[in-house]
Amino acid sequence: MSKTAKWFLGTMIAILIIISVSMFVNWYTNTPYAASVAAISAGLLSFAACVIVSDQDAKSWLSDSANIRAAIAISILIEYLVLVGMSAFFASAAKDTPPVTQTLLTSFTTVVGIVVVFYFGTSAYVQAQQTRAQLALQSGEHKPDKP
């Protein structure tokens, strides 16, 4: 098993354990504080795992903007899935869902949509610029970009 697969699997198991324990504590104490800790932990753990996995050549993960974009997109997507799953499957009834939770999910859905579009749009732009630069070098017509 590769290093990436081990980190991914370990992170997902840790997130599931944290969510399971927090949902039990949430049910036992009848307070939403444990669920909020689980949601925050899921986002932080997924971001940390993405950073660790992207640091393959013992260089700083900040040196590659693609790694940063991927870590942010993956973390926000995992956080969104955790929030939606917790609100959909652990709420006792739709009428028990507070209005702030509904507003949070609506707003976070918009944020996830924007992040996903930005991630894929930026990745496509970077790939197009690299292809353009390679073609210019091959044809011998290297023209610097104007600011």
Express each pLDDT in 97-107 by its tens digit.
677 778 888 89
- Answer yes or no: is 62 within a domain: yes
- Answer yes or no: is 114 within a domain: yes
Token pair listed for 98: 């507070």
Question: pLDDT-derived band of residue 141, with 50, 70 and 90 as boundaries?
Answer: low
- Answer yes or no: is 69 within a domain: yes
- pTM of the predicted protein model: 0.69
Q: Provide the pLDDT for residue 43.
A: 85
Q: Provide the pLDDT for residue 103.
A: 85
Express each pLDDT in 34-93 by its tens digit.
777 888 888 888 888 887 777 665 566 566 777 788 888 888 888 888 888 877 776 665
Residues 21-36 have a mean pLDDT of 79
**141 in helix, strand or coil?**
coil
Q: Provide the pLDDT for residue 98.
A: 72
Token pair listed for 26: 């949430």
Rg, C-alpha atoms of the chain:
20
- Answer yes or no: is 146 within a domain: no
Nearest to 39 by CA among 92, 108, 99: 108
Cα separation, 110 vs 113, in Å, equals 5
Domain of 90 in residue numbering reads as 3-139
Domain count, the chain: 1
Tell me the C-alpha to C-alpha distance, in Å, between residue 116 and each of 19, 30, 47, 76, 122: 24, 35, 15, 9, 10
